[in-house]
Structure 1
Amino acid sequence: MRIWGKFFGVVIGFMFGRFGGALLGLVIGHYWDTRGGKIKRMVGRGNSRQAVFFNSTFAVMGHMAKASGRVTENDIRLASMIMDQMRLNGDARRDAQQAFRDGKSADFDLRGCLRSFRMLTMGRPELLQMFLEIQLQTALADGELHPNELEILHTIGKELGFNRRQLDELLSRWQAEFRFRQSHGNAQMQPIGQAYSVLGVTAESSDQEVKRAYRKLMNEHHPDKLVAKGLPPEMMEIAKHKAQDIQTAYDRVKLERGMK
C-alpha cells in the first residue's frame, strides 16, 4: 500500500498551513502515491521540480486534447511538435508520450495533478504562466475553443492562482501570437494590430507603456531565467520561440512609431 506521499504531504502541509495545509498535503500526497510512478522515475534522472513540470505538462495536454470528445490529428501533431522542439528522444520521449496517454484516461485527477505541480514548483509565477500558456496552445490547436476546453482552462487557471481576467488576457495574447506567427517575414511585414496584442497593449498606449510591457514580458519569458527557476532545460526551445515572438512584435511596434 502506497502511503508515503500522503504521510509526507500531511506533515509538510501542516508545517506550512496547519490543518488546512495538512488537508491539501493529503490530497497532493494521494496523487503522488497513485500516479507519481512516472514522476519518481524521472526524478531519478534530474531535478524534481523540473521532472514534475515535464510530466504534468504532457499529462494535462493529453487531458485537454481529449476534452472535445476525441484526440484529433492536430492535437497529436502539436504534442509531437513540442516534443521535437524540446529534442526529446529515447526514454524522455517515451515518458512524455506516456504522460500524454495518462492524461487522456477517464480517471485522470486534473486537480490533484495541478495542486501537486503548484506545490512542487513553489508557486513560481513564471513557471505557472509558461505551463498555462502551453495548455492554451493545446486548447487552440484546431483553431477553435470547445466549451469543455474552456472549462478545463478555467480549472487550470483557478488551481494555479490566475483569476478570470488574467486568463482572458493570456488567451487573447496567445490567439494574437498564433496569428502573428502565421505572418512570416521581417518586422515590416507583421500586422501592427496583432503586434500590439502580443505585447498586451493598444495603439493608444504611450511609448513608455509599450516599453514597460515589452520589458515585463521579456523578463517573464527569458529562457535562462526560466531554467534557473525550474523550467526543464528541454523546454528552453519553447521559451526561446516565445521570446522571439515578443521581440518581433516589439520591433514591429517600434518601426510603426519610430521609436528608438
Structure 2
Amino acid sequence: MYWPITALGALAGMLLASIPGALLGGLLGQVLDRRLDLRSWADLRRRMQGATGPREQQLLFGLLGRLAKSAGAVTAAHIQQARNEMRRLQLDEAAEQLAIAAFTRGKSAEQSLRRPLRQRRANRALAEELLRACWRMAWAGGQVAPAQYQLILDCGEHLGLQRDAVLALGAAYARSNVPLMASAAAEQEALRVLGLSAEAAPAQIKQAYRRLLSRHHPDKVAGAGASPAQVRAATDKTCELHRAFELLRNRRDFP
C-alpha cells in the first residue's frame, strides 16, 4: 500500500477544505507515492535525506549486474567491485544476500530499467549516487566497453540527467584508470584520434574533443536514420574519443 504522502495530502486537504479537500489531497498524494515508490514513512525519510534504502539497493545491484554482463563476460574484477559496493554501503549479511540476488538477476537483462529509474527522477542525490556506482563498475575492468558506456548514458537519461552531467560523474573514475606515466606513443595516438598536433594547447584539445564528440555521438547518428551497425560504430568512436581526451588531460595535467 502506498500511503506516506497520501496521508499527508489527505490531512492537509482536510484542514484546508474539509472532506472534499481530504479526498483531493489523498488522491494527489497517492499519485506522488506511486511515482516515487514510497510505501512507508521510512521510505519518505530516506528520500528526503537522499539515503539509499532497500529498494534502491536492489536497483543499484541490478544495474551493476547488467553493466558487468554488458561488457561481454562477468569477470573477477566485476565481482570484486560489487563486493566493494556492499562494503561501502555497510550491508549486513541478509542485505548482502539480497544484493547478490539482485546482481545475478541484473545479468539476465530481462527486467526493464526504464520505469524504476524514472520513478527516482525527483531525487537528484540518489540519481548521482547510482550513476557513480555504475561508472565504478564500468571501470573495474580497466576500460569501459561501448555497451557499458551507452547503458550508463541511457540510465542517466531515465534518471533525468543531461548527458554532460552523466559524463562528468564518470570523469574522476576515468582519470584514475589512465596510467599516470602513459607512454609517448600512447600520447601521440591520442592526439591522432583527436586530429591534433603535438603542440596542441589544452584549450585546443578540449575544443577538438567536444567537436568530435558532437559529430559522432550515437544519439545524433541514430537520429539521422543510421543502421544499428552505424550506431554501434558511433558508440565505439565516442568511447575512443573519451579515452584519448582523458589520457591527454591526465598526462598534460589540465582540468
Check the 8 A contact 2:65/2:105 in 1, yes or no.
yes
* 8 Å CA contact retained: 1:63, 1:108: no
Partner of 1:214: none
Instruction: Give the partner amino acid of 2:70.
Output: A
Whether the aligned pair in 2 keeps the contact of 1:115 and 1:160 (CA below 8 Å) is yes
**Aligned residue pair count:** 158
Conservation of the 8 A alpha-carbon contact between 1:58 and 1:100: yes
Match of 1:15 among 21, 25, 28: 28
Q: CA deviation at 1:89?
A: 3.4
Q: Could you tell me which residue of structure 2 aligns to residue 136 of structure 1?
A: 135
Q: Give yes or no for the alignment of 1:95 onto 2:98.
A: yes
Please give the root-mean-square deviation of Cα atoms over the aligned residues, in Å.
4.0
Structure with the bigger RCO (C-alpha within 8 Å, sep 6+) is 1
Q: Following the alignment from structure 1 to structure 2, what is the Cα–Cα distance between the partners of residues 111 and 136?
A: 18
Please give the alpha-carbon distance, in whole angstroms, between the structure 2 residues aligned to 1:109 and 1:124.
20
Show CA shifts across 1:13-37 (max 9, x none).
x838xxxx89xx6xx79xx8xxxxx
> What TM-score do the two structures reach when normalised by structure 2?
0.50
Tell me the amino acid that sits aligned with residue 175 of structure 1. A
Q: 1:177 to 1:47 in 2, by over 3 A?
A: farther
Runs of 5+ unmatched residues, structure 2: 3-23, 48-52, 182-201, 204-252
Shift of 1:178: 4.9
CA distance in 1, matches of 2:112, 2:88: 27
Identify the residue that residue 64 of structure 1 maps to in structure 2: 67
- Residue 125 (structure 1) aligned with residue 120 (structure 2): no
1:146 deviates by 0.9
**8 Å Cα contact 2:139-2:177 kept in structure 1:** no
Offset at residue 158 of structure 1 (A): 0.3
- For the residue of structure 2 that corresponds to 1:70, the secondary structure is coil
Identity %: 24
Instruction: Return 5+ residue gaps in structure 1 as ranges.
Output: 6-10, 33-38, 184-202, 205-252, 254-260
Contact kept, 8 Å, 1:62 with 1:99, in 2: the verdict is yes
> 1:103 Cα deviation (Å)?
1.1
Alignment correspondent of 1:109: 112
**Alpha-carbon distance, 1:142 to partner:** 0.5
1:156: how far off? 0.8
Provide the C-alpha distance between the structure 1 equivalents of 2:177 and 2:28, rounded to a whole number of angstroms: 43
TM-score by length of 1: 0.49
Q: Is the 8 A contact 2:118 2:160 kept in 1?
A: no
Structure 1 segment 5-44 matched on structure 2, within 5 A: 15=28
2:139/2:173 contact within 8 Å kept = no
Q: Is the 8 A contact 2:68 2:107 kept in 1?
A: yes
Distance 1:86 1:164, change over 3 A: closer
Superposition deviation, residue 179 in structure 1: 5.6
- Tell me which residue corresponds to 2:157: 158
Q: CA separation of 1:126/1:178 partners in 2, compared to 1, >3 Å: closer, same or farther?
A: farther
**Partner-residue secondary structure (3-state), 1:140:** helix
